[in-house]
Chains A and B, each alone.
Chain A
């Protein structure tokens, strides 16, 4: 089938299409570049949407079931949109002995979500992390690119409230 480039209002999709066209030229076969393409899609959208995976399937002629297999196999790929603030709670050894589990359960209670989930208002996503390299100030969490150390459950509530205020 001819590679008709479909005009779309979505500039991210246009970039993804451009990326796929380049991959088609350089790769030995279409499936060889699948992971690189999924990386690109996630980079653009923050997660792998069904629409993006469908687009990859149609353009690269790879069965959707196969793409779904790759997308679910690697933990790096995220299948649901992430919140505005991604909270990574360190559960590494140092943080753990300093009470990271309490921090984690406090956040779960506050946000009423489990690990890997996003709040319905799309503000927060909760993740686990294995050592953020800041053991000196354990227990630690990271919100987007910012580190918060020597946490207590009380501090956590304050921090979250600050983000809530910012919206």
Chain B
């Protein structure tokens, strides 16, 4: 087997392992395309060093490439040579066009959904005793103030939700309030969308600043009602 075939095979095998085998190893994750490319480049560089270590191995590796490019004594490969010589400039042109073309897509947005709360909210605990009565009161407040957007079923699908981007949080989703502490919800309800830090894109959030309309005690009760209604529990440090 010629060294060029070996190099191609090595790259194909490396690619297949990185792309399809490695992500299935427990504790691993799919590799980004740029990283796979870097590994392939390393594989090729290593192979090139090995292939040029002696004059004979160098000739064995580069000789066929040179003969192919020059077109001397390659017989039936002459047609393939012309295909390569025509395709290569076209590929370069295509890539250049793609990299200079103006994008038609609006700017992408990387919004942090749960940004860090201000320090004074960390570790606050719910001062309202958790009883069936207080939970029921909380659910009543939720129905009056929160359900129009967050939904009577705590699923973020209230009748007023349709126009808002980002959409109102779905509390039944295990990646929302189940991941958060009660103190985090207290901050978000009290200060609303306009209270978010810049990474949370406060200019897009419709969440009201409830501190202007509801007493703290009602907010704490709403939090209890939300967890109970959505069948979730707050995150704790234990």
**Are the chains A and B members of one assembly?**
no
Chain A contacts to B: CB under 8 angstroms: none
